[in-house]
Amino acid sequence: MATLKEKLMNFPFSWNDENKLTEEFAQLAPYFISGGYIKVREDYFVYPTSVEFYFHSEKENGVHDPIVYHRNNNKVEGEIPYFPIFTLHAHDVGYDITFENPKKQYRASVLIREYQILDVRDKQNMVWLKWDSKKQCFCKDKEQNPKNTQVMYLKYILNSFSMGEESQINWIDAKELIEISKNEGKPRINVPKFEFKEGKFEKIEKGHGKDNKPKYEPCTRPWRFSRKRPIHIN
């Protein structure tokens, strides 16, 4: 089976055709949500179980996705250097696994939207962890395969980026896809629709709420994919 990195390096990515791009994401999704895990030192295995795709072309006639954090003229003025493929990118919402392309001039990534954490510090008694809102920590849970949806709190696990040494956070590919069925994509969570207006991208408003804050049209691109079953470790 091809590794996830190989799939990303060799995938066509139709940067100017949204329909084809959506089909390509559906083909790739199983490799992210059932094709391996993130190994954090010798301590934790993080299994993405739901991911959202983000894709923004820097070309005028490409597919635009202005909510992408890592793109030109966003947070930092001017052109932003491209990430090497397979970079783990921490930002305001959580963690992305990126696959940008400087030659084709696009920014691309998946956001880890839901995940499971296996604590492997005790090899004889590995346990699943779930975020406990009362204790404010990841704790051993009664559930056999607890799912975590608190994207921001993943920072307490993915928090060791070595400087000047070999990376301590690595993607480990599965020998085969755990779940090979192709899932239908759903709209991403809390992502608004944009329009290009007067030289810049703006969210499309659809009225105001009770607090008089503006509401926005939701993006309908079906770029969120989830596992149908939880991860099981024999």
pLDDT digits (tens, 9 = 90+) for 160-186: 777 877 778 999 998 877 665 556 899
Q: Model's pTM, two decimal places?
A: 0.92
Residue 201 lies in a domain: no
Residue 87 lies in a domain: yes
Judge whether 67 and 203 are in contact, CB under 8 Å: no
Domain that holds residue 22: 4-184
Residue 205 lies in a domain: no
d(CA 128, CA 27): 29
Residue 62 lies in a domain: yes
Residue 37 lies in a domain: yes
Strand segments, DSSP code E, in 31-179 are 36-40, 44-57, 88-90, 95-98, 106-119, 127-132, 137-140, 169-173
Residue 193 lies in a domain: no
Can you say whether the dihedral through the CA atoms of 198, 203, 204, 206 is positive or negative? negative
Pick from 115, 141, 119: nearest CA to 130: 141
User: Which of 15-29, 51-65, 139-153 has the lowest average pLDDT?
Assistant: 139-153
Amino acid, single-letter form, for residue 135 = K
| pLDDT of 182 | 59
Can you say whether the dihedral through the CA atoms of 216, 217, 223, 224 is positive or negative? positive
Residue 29 lies in a domain: yes
Residue 190 lies in a domain: no
| pLDDT of 45 | 95
Judge whether 41 and 168 are in contact, CB under 8 Å: yes
Q: How many structural domains is the chain composed of?
A: 1
Residue 119's beta-bridge partner residues? 44, 127
